[in-house]
Structure 1
Amino acid sequence: MKHKQIAKRFWQSGATPMQTAADASERYDDLINLSIGDTDFITDERIIHAAMEDALAGHTKYTNPQGDPELIEAIQNFYRAEYEMNLAKNQIFVTTSSCMGMELVLMTILDPEDEVILFSPYFTPYKQQVELALGCAVEVETSEEDGFEIREDRLRAAITPKTKALILNNPCNPTGAAYDMECYQMIASIANEFDLIVICDEIYTDYMYEMPFVPFRSLPGMAERTVTLNSFSKNYMMTGWRIGYIVAEPHLTATMKSINENMVYAAPSVSQRAALHALGLHKELKKIYTEEYKNRVYYAAKRINQLPYASVLAPRGTFYLFMNIKKTGLTSAEFCARAMEEAHVAMIPGNAFGKAGEGYVRIACTTGTATLEKAFDRLAKLAF
């Protein structure tokens, strides 16, 4: 909105396609919402009750700005048990969500006009987050023909003297791509060659369907140039608690701490206690939710490939599907508008995820299979 009281850099900012879909979703009582990636599960009752007991016991005050010491120790133990990685306490910084964490990372590392490479299609906020930190987002397109894999030639072509970092989201929202060790090693080699920071968004680590998840910072020589973002939102069904953490070298976490103290001081104490208890239930929750979401995305993929006007790659990770709707002849926004109006099914148009997203829509399988069945029965009636 253009207004003299608003900073000029925000004059061109309008509602994102994600926000537009969310606003439109209120128009229909029978809407099936497959747009926003918010789970239909509530947080496990054991986590809720344990956090409540901690609150009653006095955990309602500011914590250490770096994070609750017990939570930091639990994160250390988790990485040691899960990945055989030893993290120092000063390599961990607890954040008010991984979205806030991403902004802290970018504010920490970027000087004005530094460039950050995004692999398109990318998680919608990345571009704005880079720009809020006064950096420049550079898109490197991936394609369905390549399985949305990252191509070395395209990556190299995008690097300039101003390139400071790249953002790697594995497994990937919105495409569902999951990157293997060959891809990791290619990116690591390029990061070393051009002295780049690799910002790893690893919030869907439990949703890898073809291979086990491997933290990028575990690659030889990568720890010192890797910043890892993680969250309790998706793996633990804790979206509303707004709690996550960053793993990085101490000089980076110290700067993030300084910035964060001037924004929110510390992450919410009760949410940190909930995260602490969630880590203790990881193996049990992973078994339940990973299997459930795998069943959902495989069912949805089967139904998509039965539609005469759509197709999708086999699911590899996350609980999203990036549906190709190019046969309809519509733009992604036009298709989503028709699906909303005629089928009362909400999805996110692919143009929300960068230039390479046009011709696709993102489906979030965050509702049960019975509801997905209803959604695809409706979509099957659309004619183009």
Structure 2
Amino acid sequence: MRYASVTERLAGLGSDKWAVHFRARQMKQAGHEIIELTIGEPDIPTPTDMIDVAERAMRAGRTGYSSGRGEPALLAALSAKYTQRAGRPIGPENIMCFSGTQTALAMVMMGLAEEGDEIITGDPLYATYDGVVRATGATRVSVPLRPEKGFRMQAADLEKVITPRSRVLLLNSPHNPTGAVLSTDDIAEIGEVCIRHNLWIVSDEVYELMIYDGAFASPLDRPELADRVIAVASISKSHAAPGFRSGWCIAPKEFTERLLPLSESMLFGGQPFIADMTAYALGRPSAAAATMRESFLRRARRISERLDGKAGIVSKVPQAGMFILADIRATGLSGQEFAMRLLEEELVAVMPGESFGDNLSGYLRLSLSVADDKIDAACAGIVRLASRLQQRKSA
């Protein structure tokens, strides 16, 4: 039988990146006590007041079909949030609602690029970006995010990779997996490059409320970029509600009008009761975000204190997010090799840096959404393995 070419472009994509995580789950099922620091899922429950709103909405009959663009109350809440943040009118005509950031990213990319085009991303990058790029038929082109620059994209590095086929720059700040945060100056300089080369900017802002210290900067909030920026986000991280799958994009009116028929062909609206819950959540400060910021920063400092400078490991506190990196290149192993040995020998599961791009080879990504005692035990296991490897190198 014949299949569409998209199935070939995506065949096997992503599974190898999560090999350590899948192996850890198999070992847990077999009875091993695994300390799991692989995935980024909030470790606090979805706030009860949000669940109460969703329950009341369901009992009130908010379980029918929804608008393809989004429910009126949610569109109004998003309009208020982004109008205040951007300092310019953001109306319902600039908004589309989706089932999470991932769906928003996939749909937006389908509306912007196709075979023969190039989509530019940073490297390192979030593991699913390859899929949303390849699904369009476009080619992904990497800009190296350099450790000596704090993994923040540099405008000069971006300009070097642009070709006549370049169509979209996919930005992610705060950044997964590095925790880097682009400054206002960074955004301005990158924006100038995009204007010169007529590039769209897709800004993944799911970690907007996860900055430990400092301010959030977005290309959406710069008037000179308003006609070329599409921002995507959700309540998954900011409100500890990943399972509710509620996200959106903010974009120029012409783009949303063009994208709406495509979106409606795949996903004709979300659940009204989840939209009501999201509108409620966006109308007040997120207590969940404040709690997570405090705990993630404290745990990042805890991990850095236990790893940085031990057995050749380098691990610095990030600027934001729910992960911390550990540079284990001094051991002589790749991140993939180290992570698999760490799982088999120390029963600690972490993500290898190679899962997030070539530029993170020899690194580990550790989740901050685990309890302190598990963090301590995991760090001890990492140091033990690194020490054994260092001793063998010396011998």
| Coarse TM-score class (shorter-chain normalised) | over 0.9
CA drift at 1:243 = 1.1
Residue in structure 2 matched with residue 76 of structure 1 by the alignment: 79
Output the CA distance in 2 between the equivalents of 1:283 and 1:82: 16
For 1:43, which of 39, 46, 60 is the aligned residue?
Answer: 46
* 1:281-332 superposed Cα distances (whole Å, 9 cap, x missing partner): 4243333222222212222222220431311233111111121110111111
Aligned partner of 1:114: which letter? D
RMSD of aligned Cα (Å):
1.9
Give the percent of matched residue pairs that are identical in Structure 1 and Structure 2: 24
Is residue 51–residue 277 contact of structure 1 (8 Å, CA) maintained in 2? Answer: no
Is residue 83–residue 214 contact of structure 1 (8 Å, CA) maintained in 2? Answer: no
Residue in structure 1 matched with residue 23 of structure 2 by the alignment: 24
Shift in CA distance, 194/6, structure 1 to aligned 2, threshold 3 Å: closer
Residue in structure 2 matched with residue 202 of structure 1 by the alignment: 205
Residue in structure 1 matched with residue 119 of structure 2 by the alignment: 116
Output the CA distance in 1 between the equivalents of 2:10 and 2:372: 42
Residue in structure 2 matched with residue 264 of structure 1 by the alignment: 267
Output the CA distance in 1 between the equivalents of 2:293 and 2:89: 26
Residue in structure 2 matched with residue 127 of structure 1 by the alignment: 130
Output the CA distance in 2 between the equivalents of 1:208 and 1:239: 19
Determine if the alignment matches structure 1 residue 157 to structure 2 residue 156. no
In the TM superposition, 1:203-352 aligns within 5 A as: 203-352=206-355
Aligned partner of 2:49: which letter? R
SS in 1 for 2:266: coil
Equivalenced residue count is 382
CA drift at 1:150 = 1.7
Residue in structure 1 matched with residue 8 of structure 2 by the alignment: 9
* 1:83-110 superposed Cα distances (whole Å, 9 cap, x missing partner): 5443111101111111110111111011
CA drift at 1:214 = 2.4
* 1:178-199 superposed Cα distances (whole Å, 9 cap, x missing partner): 1111211111100111111111
Is residue 119–residue 141 contact of structure 1 (8 Å, CA) maintained in 2? Answer: yes
Mean alpha-carbon deviation: is it higher for 253-262 or for 54-63?
Answer: 253-262
Shift in CA distance, 227/314, structure 1 to aligned 2, threshold 3 Å: same
TM-score scaled by length of structure 1:
0.94
Q: Can you give the 5+ residue segments of structure 1 that lack an aligned partner in the other structure?
A: none
Aligned partner of 1:191: which letter? C
CA drift at 1:114 = 0.8
Residue in structure 1 matched with residue 392 of structure 2 by the alignment: none
Is residue 54–residue 270 contact of structure 1 (8 Å, CA) maintained in 2? Answer: yes
TM-score scaled by length of structure 2:
0.92
Output the CA distance in 1 between the equivalents of 2:206 and 2:180: 14
Output the CA distance in 2 between the equivalents of 1:190 and 1:11: 31
Q: Can you give the 5+ residue segments of structure 2 that lack an aligned partner in the other structure?
A: 390-395
Mean alpha-carbon deviation: is it higher for 131-140 or for 80-89?
Answer: 80-89
